[in-house]
Structure 1
Amino acid sequence: MSIRIFILSKLMEDNNYPYKLKKQLSEPIPLDELGGLTESKLYYHFDSLAKKGLIEPVEIIKEEHRPDKQVFAITSKGREELPKLIYKLFEKADVITDMVVGLANLKYVETDKVVEILEKKLITIKAGWEKISQFDHVQTYKDSEKIREFLNSYFSTKTEHTIYWLEELIMRIKQGEI
């Protein structure tokens, strides 16, 4: 979903072709390599978006001794679908790193709605942690005591960290910093 949001958001700015977007992702930081985005995956997503009517080819650039470049534009259907995809990304994201493409494209959505989604997510995480932390006092066999302590510490730290950064994200969105 992130790749599709990336493509649609780039086409909101200007018509483009797959190879150029791949180059933009690889410079100056090789985000394409870090994210495992190959050229064939990018072309696959362009093709998929075109089949759904979200983008359309608008031009073919021909250069001597070079392959033709098919330039795409976003359709009105694509413009309608982009915010829906971004909201869905926030709803499905388990961690903030899953939200990066959505955060980079907040200008295409209502931030109040994003905050609402994130606040619901925060309530769910806190409720889940409250429920799990009740098991802290459960009797365990002596040989499993160390693993229980380790896991308790790990999950406690991880959950506190998640809650902290989700609250921080919500606050920064509300203040217009992101």
Structure 2
Amino acid sequence: MSVQIFILSKLMKENTYPYKLKKQLSEPIPLDQLGGLTESKLYYHFDSLAKKGLIETVEIIKEENRPDKQVFSITAKGREELPKLIYSLFKNADDIKGMTVGLVNLKYVERDEVVNILKNRLEKVKGHWDEIKGIEEQLQVSKENEWFVDFMSSYISSLNESSIHWLEKLINTIKRDEN
């Protein structure tokens, strides 16, 4: 989903073709390699978006001794779907890192809606954390497993506190930057 949001957001600015996007992603920092985005994956996502009617071919560039380049444009349906995809990304991402493409494309969505999605997510994380703490208090641990339970408890506590901290910070940042 992130790759498709990326493609649609690029097409909101200008018509382009897959190889050009791949090249832009690799310079000056090889973001394509860091994200594991191969050329074939990029072409697959362009094809998938075209089949859904979210993008369309607007030009074919022919060059001697080179493969034809299909230049794509976003359709009206694609413009309508982009915000929905971004909202879905915020709802379903495993963590903030998974929201990156949505965060850099906030201009295509209602910030209040994103804040509401993130607040709901925050409440779920806090509720889940309360459940875990409740279970932890009921555990009866043998002496030989105390080290393991202490270690895992500290590890999970640290992860949850970090998630809560960064979600709260993200919510506040989005709210502050909407003015």
TM-score in same-fold range (> 0.5): yes
Match of 2:120 in 1: 120
- Deviation, structure 1 residue 9: 0.4
- Deviation, structure 1 residue 94: 1.7
Match of 1:166 in 2: 167
| Residues 40-79 of structure 1: pairs in structure 2 closer than 5 A | 40-79=40-79
| Residues 29-178 of structure 1: pairs in structure 2 closer than 5 A | 29-137=29-137, 138-176=139-177
Question: Could you state the TM-score of these two structures normalised by the residue count of structure 1?
Answer: 0.97
Matching residue's letter, 2:61: I
Matching residue's letter, 2:11: L
| Seq. identity, % | 67
Question: Which ranges of structure 1 fall in alignment gaps of 5 or more residues?
Answer: none
- Deviation, structure 1 residue 14: 0.4
- Deviation, structure 1 residue 135: 2.5
Matching residue's letter, 1:159: N
In 1, the alpha carbon distance for the partners of 2:110 and 2:31 equals 27
Matching residue's letter, 1:95: D
In 2, the alpha carbon distance for the partners of 1:170 and 1:27 equals 31
Match of 1:26 in 2: 26
In 1, the alpha carbon distance for the partners of 2:90 and 2:48 equals 22
- Deviation, structure 1 residue 27: 1.0
| Number of aligned residue pairs | 178
CA deviation profile, 1:16-46 (whole Å, cap 9, x unmatched)? 0000000111111111001111000000000
| 2:145 partner SS | helix
| Aligned Cα root-mean-square deviation (Å) | 1.2
Matching residue's letter, 1:145: E
- Deviation, structure 1 residue 65: 2.4
Matching residue's letter, 1:165: W
